[in-house]
Structure 1
């Protein structure tokens, strides 16, 4: 399911900040697969009922959208949020570009370039 949601996320990211109205069929074409059965219910598009459930709604929230489904028409509306995409995701993506998965940044603070820098004295 994660790969499918990544496809939906890419689709939405490319169209931000447009408001989009997509049928379930159109979404299935975008993700190149079938949506899970609960996706036919409006509640699924808002988010999970239990905190332990899969966080599928991150696919649209991370790129700055909220989703709502009209129950009878089976149309999902993706509405851009005023605060835009989640900045944590932008930084995660940027970090992945700078430090590919096999090359994580060092957490060793002793190797900081600022460690040996002389401290400025404050004027009193």
Structure 2
């Protein structure tokens, strides 16, 4: 697991090209969670015409509210991910990340109602 520091996250927040008028960040761990989900995905060479609304998939996987802004910053931080939410260079053949990626992220599973919506069948494969 890549442990992003608060300093790295704060720097990325100021350099992220958000596609929103207002940004929302409840906790830096939300960005760490989104980063881990993106990290598990297969990367492709181009930005697809239609993106994946990954925010909801990440929330249900991690059991915690994640904002679109969090996903945008996570993508900014990831060296292999490019594009603008929701159109990132990730394959539509989604990989369900292992929940072991969340073990050291304190905010994981804080909102159990989100985890109840997790559907492994949305993923083509498991990590």
**TM-score with structure 2 setting the length:** 0.31
Higher-RCO chain (CA-CA 8 Å, sequence separation at least 6): 2
**TM-score with structure 1 setting the length:** 0.31
Higher strand proportion (structure 1 or 2): 1
Rg (Cα) greater in structure: 1
